[in-house]
Structure 1
Amino acid sequence: MSESDCSKLHIAMFPWVAYGHFIPFLHLSNKFAQNGHKVSFLLPKGVQSKLENMNLYPDSIQFFPLLLPQVDGLPPGAETASVVPMIQQKYLAFAVDQTRDQVEDILKALKPDVVFYDFWFWIPHLARQLGICPILYGVVCSMSMGLRLTIKEVIKETTVEDVLELPPDYPSSTVRFKPEEAPPLLFAAEDFGSGLSFHQRIKKTMIESDAVAFRTCRETEGPFLDYVGKALGKPVLLSGPCLPETKTEQLDDKWASWLSQFEPGSVVFCSFGSQSELQRDEFQELVLGFELSGLPFLVALKPPQGCSTVEEALPEGFQERVKGRGLIYGGWVPQELLLHHPNIGCFVNHCGYGTMWEFLLSDCQIILIPQLPDQILNTRLMVNELRIGVEVERGKNRKVSKESLSEAIKLVMDKENETANMLRANHAKLKQTLSDRDLQEEYFNNFIQALQDLVQKQS
């Protein structure tokens, strides 16, 4: 039965309260709406105005605002992870848990066929009571989910090495955390809101779902997707990359004119996403690495901790030394458009999952400096499995030195270098596959069909 023969779905969306989750859930919503399905999107009240411009189908996608209660430990008015330090995010999780009655009232009134969620362990039970199919939608890579399934429960005597030991059937020995990278949250036994540790919350969301869906395709993560399906004993559904619709706007003159001074493929571009905040010394070491490379560069980073502007954080004499070839910018930049400018030849980034899909569809050489746990695993996939990028080596205390960054840049930008050419060829081949519109449509049509089958089975 083709997708057009199926009755249209009504889908509810309820992501974790961070923009790195809202945005991919909204990309998926737009894709559903484009195919004639109805979407109801649950989110904190104050976030709605910030996402409305990304809702491409307002007649088909409706926002349902939630009022988050004030809880002890949470900054007043805080509704998203971007304004809450990591150490206080357990209070944010608890605050959203307190909206359960609001969520139940909304779902009861709407009666959607499916609810997609990713952090709210109580959604599966609530959804089933209302005859709704609960599906976990992962906006992280599948090997991240796979590793979470392998991690043992933490007890006092457990060492990090014990916890991280991989089972014999795990698809790769290279996509994993090194002990010194092990994210504390995964091993913390303390409450991360509602009496569950962070690890227990994540595991519960996976185990209790009817199916697990990923914003990916087999061409990038096949063995890991198979592992997750086998470990959970549940269907694994793939939406494909679910990329936003191609933007037609041109790059602003201020960026286009600055880039036009340089040769094609010669500029190094760096961006670390909206949530990354460096220490001042890390920021300075990084910009000195770009200077040391000798190449033109455009660096877009938030001001480091304790600084109100990037200018005040720059090393002494830096601006004079790099004048004419280096630009440090502290505001938002049109990352996707910059990546497609012909004069940008290298992209230094944190390997966030959304950014990963953007650079996969670019022609840039890729250099990765991951910071958060999921970024580390994305990086290992890009570097060790797909072999399309380079991870910058870290020294003592996992610090990135100006020398190690400069060496990585020089390596990938050297057109005579065998490794650089191998990375470029691998990237070009993968880009060609992922850019295939027919492939993307096939994934999404199969995704819809799988959802229809699950809904029909439940009814």
Structure 2
Amino acid sequence: MPEFEKPKRHIAMFPWIAMGHITPFIHVANGLAKRGHSVSILIPRKAILQLGHQNLYPNLIKFQTVSVPQVDGLPPGAETASDIDVSPFNPLAVAFQAMSKEVNTLLCTLKPDIVFYDFAHWIPDLAAKIGFKTVFYNVICAAFWAITIVPARHFPRDRPLTEEELLEPPKGYPSSTVVLRGQEGRTLSTIPLECGNTTFDAVITAAMQGCDAIGVRTCRELEGAVCDYLSAQYNKPVLLSGPVLPEVPKGKLEDKWDAWLAKFKPKSVVYCAFGSQLNLEKDQFEELVLGFEMTGLPFFIALPKPKGANSIEEALPEGFVERVGDRGVVYGGWVQQTHILKHPSVGCFVSHCGFGSMWESLLSDNQIVLVPFLADQILNARLLTEELKVAVEVERGEMGWFCKEDLCKAVKCVMDEGSEVGDMVKRNHAKWKETFACVGFMDNYMDNFVKQICQL
């Protein structure tokens, strides 16, 4: 047994209450528990019911239920970001901040050695009182913080910055000049956490300044220079956990989807998903499904119903179901994405390029088409299309919207046999997948991450 596993640590985790944040925290917890450490994860009851099956070490990982208080604007029963629409003012963020008293009580009882958090910027204030170390664990790309969050050099420090530290972020990827393609003049949109006079930038800056170490769900092969920049700016260690994805999905694909996919030729089906939080405008939803119809390929779209619609069926264009027949599925419920991406019939993944989906696409054998929406997704898409050259991005118009013709064009250019673009991204993808999927790659990152965490 490696020396760094002794003595065992007790780690508590309190992530932002969105599925895309809670899930990677659970994956990290599995990595810690695999190495003998105990973990307490503080999340709402609904999230436990939906994600509890991802706990691979129930003897070491325990879920602690925290309640989401009712605040103005928050729908009754809402407990995660999936329960509300994205808006400039986020009532869930208000409720999240109000959970501090209950979290304080729980941490006083649990007495952990280390606490992982992301948006709960007040956790470091509890550290001195209760007596634990803190890790700001970032589940999205490091580039997002380097570009969109006010650098730490604008805040008081215990020593002057060196000339090297005063340099701008690394050139290339990421770049301080990144803009939304087709949306020049508009600022990068961020996760809406504004509540009262507290802005998203202020929350994250405080969260990163107050911690003992910054953890990032990335690897040096992709973002080494950016992580070094963040370490210099915040004058603290930046620890990389690697992508932290489950190696093999448990169970099998639901029978009805397995049977439907099995009707088609290998690598012929296009799968599309944009995560659990994104609700498209009805017009964009229609353009999306019509674009898939235009490809002539079999397709599986898994998206929430668009804004203003009561159901997926209601939002479909007139005559769409009759024209497409059994060639296409548009489904508004939860699906086993990891299983679907591994199905022999699936050959292309159209995603929003959230960080989790980005890694799933890189570790799959599928062609990659990107339709990013938020700031971190824009940066992830730039990495995959312009730096690694493993994907194509759907072109946008002046207002940042895409049309059915552009979506169809992007899918066809990677799926058509003999396409030069399709062949190029496939070759590059295979090369990078070989790097990321090689034996020991993820385990080595997690081993070093746990060692550094324990040394805090």
C-alpha distance in 2 between matches for 1:244 and 1:19: 15
Q: Say if 2:173 and 2:383, in contact at 8 Å, map to a contact too.
A: no
**Residue 127 of structure 1: how far off its partner (Å):** 1.1
Does residue 300 of structure 2 align to residue 298 of structure 1?
yes
Q: Quick one: which amino acid aligns to residue 33 of structure 1?
A: A
Aligned to 2:273: 271
SS at 1:86 equivalent: coil
Counterpart in 2 of 1:387?
A: 389
Aligned to 2:260: 258
Aligned counterparts of 1:45 and 1:58: Cα–Cα separation in 2: 16
Q: Would you say the 8 A contact 1:148–1:203 is kept in 2?
A: no
- Code of the aligned partner of 2:54: M
Q: Which residue is equivalent to 2:161?
A: none
- 2:108 — aligned with what? 108
Aligned-partner SS, 1:49: helix
Query: Residue in 1 aligned with 2:219?
Result: 217
CA–CA distance in structure 1, aligned partners of residues 435 and 58 of structure 2: 31
Any conservation in 2 of the 1:3–1:445 contact (CA below 8 Å)? no
2:83 matches 1:83:
yes
Residues 392 and 153 of structure 1, relative CA distance in 2, 3 Å threshold: farther
Deviations 1:256-295 (A, max 9, x none): 3322332221221111121121122111111111121222
Question: Normalising to structure 1: TM-score of the pair?
Answer: 0.89
Query: Any conservation in 1 of the 2:190–2:374 contact (CA below 8 Å)?
Result: no
Cα distance change of structure 1 residues 303 and 267 upon mapping to structure 2, 3 Å threshold: same
| CA positional deviation for 1:106 | 1.8
Please state whether the residue corresponding to 2:373 is helix, strand or coil: coil
- How far 1:238 sits from its partner (Å)? 1.1
Segment drifting more, 70-79 vs 21-30: 70-79
Q: Compare 404-413 and 75-84 and name the one that shifted more.
A: 75-84
Q: Is the 1:138–1:212 contact (alpha carbons within 8 Å) kept by the matching residues of 2?
A: yes
Task: Kindly indicate whether the alpha-carbon contact (under 8 Å) linking 2:217 and 2:243 is maintained by their aligned counterparts in 1.
Answer: yes
2:337 equivalent in structure 1: 335
Q: Give unmatched runs, 5+ long, in structure 2.
A: 155-165
User: Once the 2 structures are TM-superposed, how far is the Cα of residue 151 of structure 1 from its aligned partner?
Assistant: 6.6
Does the aligned pair in 2 maintain the 1:185–1:199 contact within 8 Å?
no
Other-structure match for 2:9: 9
Counterpart amino acid of residue 114 in structure 1: I
Aligned pairs (5 A) from 1:234-249 = 234-249=236-251
Q: Which residue number in structure 2 is paired with residue 159 of structure 1? A: none
Q: Which moved more, 1:294-303 or 1:113-122?
A: 294-303
Partner of 1:73: 73
In 2, Cα distance between the equivalents of 1:72 and 1:270?
A: 35
Residue number in structure 2 paired with 1:447: 449
Task: For 1:27-42, list aligned pairs within 5 A.
Answer: 27-42=27-42
Shift of 1:57: 1.8
Distance 2:250 2:74 in 1: 41
Q: Are the equivalent residues in 1 in contact too, given 2:152–2:233 (CA < 8 A)?
A: no
Residue type of the partner of 2:443?
E
- 1:170 aligned onto 2:170: yes
The count of corresponding residues between Structure 1 and Structure 2 is 440
Aligned partner of 2:328 in structure 1 is 326
Deviation at 1:185, TM superposition (A): 5.3
> Residue 455 of structure 2 aligns to a residue in which SS?
helix
The share of aligned pairs that are identical, in percent, is 47
Q: Secondary structure at the match of 1:21?
A: helix
Give the aligned CA root-mean-square deviation in angstroms: 2.5
Assess, with a 3 A threshold, how the Cα gap between structure 1 residues 323 and 101 changes in structure 2: closer, same or farther: closer
Cα distance in 2 between the residues matched to 1:87 and 1:261:
40
- Give the direction of change, closer, same or farther, for the CA distance of 1:149–1:197 in structure 2 (3 Å limit): closer
Amino acid at match of 2:95: A
Give 1:184 shift: 5.0
Q: Deviations over 1:338-362 (max 9, x none)?
A: 1111221111111111111211110
In 1, Cα distance between the equivalents of 2:321 and 2:94?
Answer: 45
- Matched with 1:414 is 416
CA contact (8 A) 2:135 2:214 kept: yes
Q: Contact 2:13 / 2:41 at 8 angstroms: preserved in 1?
A: yes
Distance in 2 between the 1:309 and 1:94 partners? 29
Deviation sequence 1:53-93 (CA, Å, 0-9, x none): 22222221122222333323333343222223333754322
CA contact (8 A) 2:249 2:338 kept: no
Give, in angstroms, the shift of residue 376 of structure 1. 1.6
Q: Which residue of 1 aligns with 2:26?
A: 26
Aligned residue among 166, 182, 191 for 2:187: 182
Supply the AA of the counterpart residue of 1:142.
Answer: A
Q: Cα 1:257–1:50, aligned 2, differ >3 Å: closer, same or farther?
A: closer
Structure 1: 5+ residue runs without aligned partners? 155-165, 455-459
Whether the 8 Å contact between 1:74 and 1:88 is mirrored in structure 2 is no
2:357 is matched with which residue? 355
- Give me the whole-angstrom Cα distance separating, in 2, the residues matched to 1:258 and 1:69: 42
Shift of 1:378: 1.4
Given that 1:10 and 1:37 are in contact with CA atoms closer than 8 Å, whether structure 2 keeps it comes out as yes
SS of match in other structure, 2:349: strand
Aligned-partner SS, 1:397: coil
Partners of 1:401 and 1:370 lie apart in 2 by: 14
Q: CA–CA distance in 2 between the matches of 1:373 and 1:259? A: 33
| Larger mean Cα displacement after TM superposition, 254-263 or 381-390 | 254-263
**What is the CA–CA distance in structure 1 between the aligned matches of 2:235 and 2:302, rounded to whole Å?**
43
